[in-house]
Structure 1
Amino acid sequence: MASLGSLGLNAWITVAVVIGLIGALIADWARPDFVLLSGLSVLLVTGVVTPGQAFAGFSNSAVLTVGALYVVAGGVQHTDALSKLDRVLFPNTTRLGPLLARFMVPTSFLSGLLNNTPIVAMLTPRLQKWADAQGVPASKLMIPLSYAAITGGMMTLVGTSTNLIVAGLMEAEGYEPLHLFDVTWIGVPAALVVIAYFVLGGHRLLPDRGTSAPAVEQELDENMFEVKVTVQSSRPPSGQTVAEAGLRDLGDAYLTHVRRGTQVLQARPQLALEQGDILAFNGSLAARERLLKRPGLKRTLPHPDGHHDDPVRYETLPLYEAVIAESSDLVGTTLGEANFREKYQGVVLGIQRQDEPVTSPVGTTELQAGDLLIVEAPDDFEERWSSGSREEFYLVAPRDGQARRAGGR
């Protein structure tokens, strides 16, 4: 074994780059792809690797195949193809044994045809939606979904990125390339064993955390209130913008949207208020009482039939769930510091962390990776942030009317 003193300059540069990469990844200094490309750039500039060696991976057939599969999976996600499988994946029964068999078998099969990572990303919101609707704990379903996709990906060469990378390396070294079904005789038994384990009793060992949606919806419903601009346009707050009226940063409450006749307007700082506007807030009762003491604002009254004038968002503006990614700019900041309303074109109504709603004011809560944001936003929010935005959100999905049902009492 050669001594450390015999190592050349290139070897020491490589060691330094590897240590730097590991440290940067542990410290979450930047997105992993940026960190790794930075390390490659250092090796390229210092001459440790040649340009041909540096960019050989980008011409590797396995890497290109993985990229092509993500395109295919993205196309499937944006069509109605998956909805056709809902009756197959999600039966009427809530018994966990038959339920797990019903969705794990198709998941394994699909993971063998497409890459298993986008399969999980596509099925997770659908599974969450079904679990909430049926009252089945999602904690009993997500791990089986993941394992079905992992073992299903082992059934074919294209099912998992690891198989493709290994096949590419073997071909580069002169070995006979693997064919599509060369690994099937290993993957199929593995998938069947995993499915049988969960169906026959393994699900009993999974945690039962219940359904978290009711707690979140109750929190949102309790915190929503409305006030009405009543004075003429010659007196504040009528005629003032949201920022000029001091309605943007209230500490323990924030303006979510403005209802003007049949329109629902996002509460941008430059929005001018008019007489008759209905202002919808999310905040504490103390904040509501302070607002009602301001001249020109009054409490909205119940309808003659006894029903309260619930916020119009339940009928017009959709709600979305967005899970903050570890590489997101939101991590370690508050919504105010991140300028969330302007940058993301949405309003956060609530934050869920580890199955429990965050009770502190959402505007001043420091965000963490994995936080689930309940966002009120226009119809294009999912389209803008679910495609090519995994550095910001792991997942963006409609909340599918849960808040509408909570508010429609």
Structure 2
Amino acid sequence: MSLADSTWVFIVLGLTLVAFIWGRFRYDLVALAALLSSVALGLIPAEDAFLGFGHPAVITVAAVLVISRGFERSGVVDVIANQVLKVGERLTLQLLVLTGTVLVLSGLMNNVGALALLLPVAIRLAREHDTSPSILLMPLAFGSLLGGLTTLIGTPPNIIISTYRGNETGENFGMFSFFPVGATVAVAGLVFIVLVGWRLTPRRQAQATTEEMFDTANYLVELKVGEDTKAKGWTLRELHDALEETIPVLAVVRDDNRRAGYAFHGALEEGDILLLEAGPEELKLLEDKAGLSAIPEPVEADELEDEAERETKKKREKEKAKSEKPDATEIDTEGLQLIEAVVRNDSMMINRNVRQLRLHNQFGLHLVAVARDGSRLKQRLRDIQFRTGDVLLLQGSENEIADSLATLGCLPLAKRDLTLGRPRMLIASIAIFALAIAIMLLDLLPAAVALSGAALVSLLIGVLPLRDGYQAIDGPVIVLLGAMLPVGQALETSGGAALVAEVMLSLGENLPIIFTLVGLFLLSMVLSNVINNAAAALLMAPIAASLARGFDASLDPFLMVVAVSASCAFLTPIGHQSNTLVLGPGGYRFGDYWKLGLPLSMVVLLTAIPMILLVWPLSG
């Protein structure tokens, strides 16, 4: 290609980076726009535009996501998590066990999946021992990134770098090729976090309990249906329609019997008492449009659970006293408790509101409150566009809420009941994964084929339902990879990567090569903190290869520098999905991350470069 082509590539990539950082449009849409723009400019042949979606790296990432979800469903990780809860009161021991566990798991499964499994455990530990979750969650997120360095499947950058090496040399990196360097870096990072780093995290004491985060007792009120109340004879759905507002009715009390709002489908009658979550503006709206007046005494949040428990006990005693069939009209009072959940990065809720999701009608959930950046949002619930990391206070049926949250892409927090899974499926999932690893180690099949086969078998034997398998595949990441792979190749074929390498070579021509490696590390690390780490690896791999050719050195140390540095997204909450996932539950702010992330990045740099040169010599 000509110099003009490389100029156009830099323009496209520059605009793409600006769009990534701006964040107005999701990164998969930005990547797709970059791909189509490159095709329109003639930088990528039209017939090759979508070859990236069939690239082995994309297939491998998708397979790893399915296998990771299979581990969740079979109970492999829950067995481990159940043991972690027994760690005790010492904070340093909690940090060591939590961060060390997520570090190990992240090497064997997708690091975001590993974090998602241990996040509820960390929240529960914090609340049981009266510790701020903010002290535990950032180290946990960073530990998941460190653990991804250790194996081929731990993080997408490793998969990308491996396949790039295969294209350049004819031989991919193996499953454990990353282990000597990755494990050393991970252990160094773990030691730093446990001994020093956690002291650099902010203390957000207000996040310790649901009541403190949401201040629920100040919002739960009772409204009575009077003789002349306009809402008399309405259903709850008609009430919501009349209000044109999402005001969750948590319970309806009639004749001293309490029924959860989601389970009440009849018409309101005189004397009914509605227990709902409303502030001053909502109370005025309820009085003006429905004629509902407030009962002066507010209802404490814990009273809701306590009374539900008392009434449930009373109901069971009645049933026990009756030898005949229980009365079919008796009202079930279970399920009135509230539950917290965090919006995952792959949630279908992102950028949508309650009405668009039909949260109550389709999923049987009442949205009670939303917390973001550690504080409760005061705006109307119907107007809130959900974001990754939002903490939701929900009410729903105990029997169905788990499935509803899984479908929505939300992670239940402290009240999540750990399940040990089915032993047969637990053993089967481990056996399938071990067989796939053995096939890869023996070079019988490429990683993409072996792991895809493992994912297929997991679905066929029922380790994971087919629907969950498709939900496990992170669509935006797949589109990002498939779209950016041809763009990254255009950077190389246009000569753009060589131009960047020439600048770096000229700057370091009178210095040892190690300084150029440090510069490559820092450039890749900065990119990974503002754009997706997979995109950073895709863009930096051609530059690393050009540098290796310019120095007439082995390709491997340069690629390993990119693999490690592309996963060092410790400085911002947007650099990696793990960081974003703990943003809400930890009550962090944007500027909190670099306080621990910057020194940790330096620890990784000072550990990684010498280890890379030891394991992968420049003259290799």
TM-score by structure 1 length?
Answer: 0.75
Give the Cα–Cα distance (whole angstroms) in 2 for the partners of residues 145 and 133 of structure 1. 18
- Residue 296 of structure 1 and its aligned partner are, at CA, apart by 7.8
Query: Which of 163, 175, 182 matches 2:177?
Result: 182
Q: Which moved more, 1:16-25 or 1:117-126?
A: 16-25
Indicate if the aligned counterparts of 2:335 and 2:397 stay in contact, CA closer than 8 A.
Answer: no
- Report the CA distance shift for 1:356/1:167 in structure 2 as closer, same or farther (over 3 A): same
Query: Which of 411, 422, 436 matches 1:396?
Result: 411
Amino acid in the other structure paired with 1:319: I
Indicate if the aligned counterparts of 2:85 and 2:121 stay in contact, CA closer than 8 A.
Answer: no
- Report the CA distance shift for 1:278/1:33 in structure 2 as closer, same or farther (over 3 A): same
Q: Give the aligned partner of residue 553 of structure 2.
A: none
SS at match of 2:74: coil
- Residue 53 of structure 1 and its aligned partner are, at CA, apart by 3.0
Q: Give the aligned partner of residue 375 of structure 1.
A: 394
Q: Give the aligned partner of residue 163 of structure 1.
A: 158
- Residue 133 of structure 1 and its aligned partner are, at CA, apart by 2.4
- Residue 132 of structure 1 and its aligned partner are, at CA, apart by 1.9
- Report the CA distance shift for 1:91/1:242 in structure 2 as closer, same or farther (over 3 A): closer
Give the Cα–Cα distance (whole angstroms) in 2 for the partners of residues 296 and 249 of structure 1. 12
Give the Cα–Cα distance (whole angstroms) in 2 for the partners of residues 273 and 347 of structure 1. 19
- Report the CA distance shift for 1:98/1:110 in structure 2 as closer, same or farther (over 3 A): same
- Residue 272 of structure 1 and its aligned partner are, at CA, apart by 3.8
- Report the CA distance shift for 1:353/1:346 in structure 2 as closer, same or farther (over 3 A): same
Give the Cα–Cα distance (whole angstroms) in 2 for the partners of residues 13 and 189 of structure 1. 40
CA-to-aligned-CA distance 1:219-249 (integer Å, 9 cap, x gap): 11221122343549xx843323446557853
Amino acid in the other structure paired with 1:400: K
SS at match of 2:205: coil
Indicate if the aligned counterparts of 1:248 and 1:254 stay in contact, CA closer than 8 A.
Answer: no
Q: Give the aligned partner of residue 352 of structure 1.
A: 371
Q: Which moved more, 1:135-144 or 1:352-361?
A: 352-361
Which has the larger strand fraction? 1
- Report the CA distance shift for 1:338/1:94 in structure 2 as closer, same or farther (over 3 A): same
Query: Which of 39, 52, 59 matches 1:57?
Result: 52
Asked if residue 89 in structure 1 is aligned to residue 89 in structure 2, the reply is no
Amino acid in the other structure paired with 1:240: W
CA-to-aligned-CA distance 1:75-94 (integer Å, 9 cap, x gap): 22223332211343233422
Indicate if the aligned counterparts of 1:228 and 1:297 stay in contact, CA closer than 8 A.
Answer: yes
Q: Which moved more, 1:333-342 or 1:164-173?
A: 333-342
CA-to-aligned-CA distance 1:179-234 (integer Å, 9 cap, x gap): 222221112221221222223333222222225125546611221122343549xx
Give the Cα–Cα distance (whole angstroms) in 1 for the partners of residues 266 and 34 of structure 2. 46
Q: Give the aligned partner of residue 339 of structure 2.
A: 319
Indicate if the aligned counterparts of 2:214 and 2:371 stay in contact, CA closer than 8 A.
Answer: no
SS at match of 1:88: helix
Q: Give the aligned partner of residue 104 of structure 1.
A: 99
- Report the CA distance shift for 1:335/1:258 in structure 2 as closer, same or farther (over 3 A): same
Indicate if the aligned counterparts of 2:340 and 2:391 stay in contact, CA closer than 8 A.
Answer: no
Query: Which of 32, 35, 46 matches 1:40?
Result: 35
SS at match of 2:393: strand
SS at match of 2:276: strand
Q: Give the aligned partner of residue 224 of structure 1.
A: 220
- Report the CA distance shift for 1:258/1:42 in structure 2 as closer, same or farther (over 3 A): farther
Give the Cα–Cα distance (whole angstroms) in 2 for the partners of residues 309 and 299 of structure 1. 19
CA-to-aligned-CA distance 1:331-370 (integer Å, 9 cap, x gap): 5x87679876557653322222322334565456676664
Give the Cα–Cα distance (whole angstroms) in 1 for the partners of residues 129 and 119 of structure 2. 15
- Residue 68 of structure 1 and its aligned partner are, at CA, apart by 1.0
Indicate if the aligned counterparts of 1:239 and 1:273 stay in contact, CA closer than 8 A.
Answer: yes
Asked if residue 21 in structure 1 is aligned to residue 36 in structure 2, the reply is no
Q: Which moved more, 1:249-258 or 1:52-61?
A: 249-258
Q: Which moved more, 1:38-47 or 1:362-371?
A: 362-371
Query: Which of 128, 131, 138 matches 1:136?
Result: 131
- Residue 106 of structure 1 and its aligned partner are, at CA, apart by 2.4
Q: Which moved more, 1:355-364 or 1:166-175?
A: 355-364
- Report the CA distance shift for 1:228/1:324 in structure 2 as closer, same or farther (over 3 A): farther
Indicate if the aligned counterparts of 2:162 and 2:172 stay in contact, CA closer than 8 A.
Answer: yes
Amino acid in the other structure paired with 1:226: E
- Residue 100 of structure 1 and its aligned partner are, at CA, apart by 1.8
Indicate if the aligned counterparts of 2:206 and 2:212 stay in contact, CA closer than 8 A.
Answer: no
- Residue 124 of structure 1 and its aligned partner are, at CA, apart by 1.4
Aligned length: 384
- Residue 161 of structure 1 and its aligned partner are, at CA, apart by 1.4
- Residue 67 of structure 1 and its aligned partner are, at CA, apart by 1.1
Give the Cα–Cα distance (whole angstroms) in 1 for the partners of residues 225 and 120 of structure 2. 39
- Report the CA distance shift for 1:51/1:125 in structure 2 as closer, same or farther (over 3 A): farther
Q: Give the aligned partner of residue 266 of structure 1.
A: 262
Give the Cα–Cα distance (whole angstroms) in 1 for the partners of residues 99 and 283 of structure 2. 48
Amino acid in the other structure paired with 1:118: G
Asked if residue 249 in structure 1 is aligned to residue 246 in structure 2, the reply is no
Indicate if the aligned counterparts of 2:110 and 2:154 stay in contact, CA closer than 8 A.
Answer: yes
SS at match of 1:141: helix
Gaps of 5+ in 1: 403-409
Give the Cα–Cα distance (whole angstroms) in 2 for the partners of residues 325 and 61 of structure 1. 24
- Residue 375 of structure 1 and its aligned partner are, at CA, apart by 2.0
Give the Cα–Cα distance (whole angstroms) in 1 for the partners of residues 47 and 97 of structure 2. 49
Give the Cα–Cα distance (whole angstroms) in 2 for the partners of residues 381 and 308 of structure 1. 18
Give the Cα–Cα distance (whole angstroms) in 2 for the partners of residues 247 and 343 of structure 1. 16
- Report the CA distance shift for 1:310/1:20 in structure 2 as closer, same or farther (over 3 A): same
SS at match of 2:188: helix
- Residue 316 of structure 1 and its aligned partner are, at CA, apart by 0.9
Q: Give the aligned partner of residue 275 of structure 2.
A: 280
Indicate if the aligned counterparts of 1:253 and 1:283 stay in contact, CA closer than 8 A.
Answer: yes
- Counting only pairs closer than 5 Å after superposition, residues 298-317 of structure 1 correspond to structure 2 as 299=295, 315-317=334-336
Indicate if the aligned counterparts of 1:88 and 1:102 stay in contact, CA closer than 8 A.
Answer: no
* Structure having greater relative contact order (Cα 8 Å, sep ≥ 6): 2
Q: Which moved more, 1:372-381 or 1:153-162?
A: 372-381
Asked if residue 151 in structure 1 is aligned to residue 146 in structure 2, the reply is yes
Amino acid in the other structure paired with 2:105: L
- Report the CA distance shift for 1:13/1:339 in structure 2 as closer, same or farther (over 3 A): farther
Q: Which moved more, 1:42-51 or 1:62-71?
A: 42-51
SS at match of 2:152: coil
RMSD: 4.3
- Residue 285 of structure 1 and its aligned partner are, at CA, apart by 6.3
SS at match of 1:208: coil
TM-score by structure 2 length?
Answer: 0.52
CA-to-aligned-CA distance 1:58-82 (integer Å, 9 cap, x gap): 2322321211111111122223332
Asked if residue 237 in structure 1 is aligned to residue 224 in structure 2, the reply is no
Residue identity (%): 22
- Report the CA distance shift for 1:52/1:129 in structure 2 as closer, same or farther (over 3 A): farther
Asked if residue 73 in structure 1 is aligned to residue 92 in structure 2, the reply is no
Amino acid in the other structure paired with 1:249: L
Give the Cα–Cα distance (whole angstroms) in 1 for the partners of residues 29 and 281 of structure 2. 46
- Report the CA distance shift for 1:19/1:78 in structure 2 as closer, same or farther (over 3 A): same
SS at match of 2:125: helix
